[in-house]
Amino acid sequence: MLPKPLTLGNLSNWSSKLLLSTATREPPAIPPKPAHIDRMSFHGITFNFMEDIVQQRGFLDDGSSPAAVHRPVFLFARNDASIRTCYPEGASNAAGNGPNPGTDAPHGPSSINPGADCRDPGGYRGDYTQGNPFPVYVSAQFCVDQWRIDYTLYYVHDGNLNAGHIHDWEGVSVVFRKDPAATDNEDWWRAHGVIFRVHGDHFFYNWQEIYTVSGLRDVRDDKFANAKNHVKVYVGEYSHASHRRKCDVGCASLTNVGAPSADREYRSSDWYRLPDVKDLFLYSVIPQSWCEDDAPWKNVDADNENPWKDKSNPWSNKLNTCVWNVTPGKKSGRW
């Protein structure tokens, strides 16, 4: 039986009761892959029992874990030596027992560095400099007729001027659909596309409409329809929106003001990072206090039904994975 998607209707008590993990189950044995199934398809057990498998064995880089095989390449921007994006870091405080306290967005003239008070991406050595490692938080969710693996990054703040705010969670979801060659009784799934989160909007592109690469050796390749493993995610310099392609000189706005609404937030390939499997972490390692009733970033709506609907954090991402209003991706323009 396929698992139910996580919705408000089947959460018995959202207030401080969000369980990002459960007691470890013993995963069933994964059956051999039939000859007619695509070599890049994964059995439903690897999604349904992902958390249990990882807790027992870790994320494996042997081709058996869909989350590891399809982990994205993240690309980050800078305008010049003094202006760069805020770089992602861990969501826990130094003691590891609570949330990262974050930092308030820098305020000042339009030229102020949006990367102030953020983690150092590493020394810059020109376009496609490999950046320092950072954690990527991963979860899997079944949504009606597909599996979605969510990859989320945490930033201590976003933006600059008065457009920024403390704490920011952004990322993408890789969508898996049933392998077309699978029979009704066969539980095999392959990557079908990616949901890019862009300032509250969610744009879906299928696998032929995004840049994908096989790894470090072809990481500079910007071509559609490559049908390789790792999607390239261009991160907006100011608000960390996720995009399928760059938008730099001649395309982008160089200030935070108006950039999000125009989808012209500056983004390029100054730093990049294909996370190692050791940089992948389950949502369950995120401090539970991110989700408690008194969390300062919680927003209670008028009906007190969905306290996180307008917030970007582990709770809202997990809750809304299946209920995002996904829009087919834009087919023209620079983004």
User: Residue 318 is inside which H or E element, if any?
Assistant: helix 314-320
Of 244, 203, 210, 245, the residue nearest 228 (C-alpha) = 210
| 244 Cβ neighbours under 8 A, 6+ residues apart | 194, 196, 205, 209, 210, 211, 231, 232, 233, 234, 329, 335
Domain edges within the chain: 68-328
- pTM of the shown model: 0.87
Tokens of 210: 């995004």
What backbone torsions phi and psi does residue 108 show, to the nearest 5 degrees?
A: 155, -160
Distance (Å, whole) CA 124 – CA 270: 8
Within 13 Å and on the Cβ side, how many CA atoms surround 327?
Answer: 11
The tens-digit pLDDT sequence of the chain (335 residues) is 333 333 322 222 222 223 344 456 888 999 999 999 999 999 999 999 999 999 999 999 899 999 999 999 999 999 888 888 999 999 998 888 888 988 887 777 766 888 988 999 999 999 999 999 999 999 999 998 999 999 999 999 888 766 778 888 999 999 999 999 999 999 999 999 999 988 778 899 999 999 999 999 999 999 998 999 999 999 999 889 999 999 887 776 665 654 445 578 889 999 999 999 999 999 888 887 776 655 545 544 444 454 444 455 676 777 778 877 677 776 434 44
Distance (Å, whole) CA 189 – CA 175: 10
Q: In angstroms, what CA-CA distances link 295 with 74, 81, 114, 138, 208?
A: 29, 36, 25, 22, 40
Contacts by 253-262 with C-beta closer than 8 Å and gap 24+? 254/79, 255/110, 255/161, 256/110, 256/114, 256/159, 256/160, 256/161, 256/163, 256/164, 257/110, 257/161, 257/163, 260/199, 260/236, 261/199
DSSP 3-state assignment of 164? coil
Of 100, 39, 77, the residue nearest 247 (C-alpha) = 77
CA angle 328, 333, 335 (to 5 degrees): 65
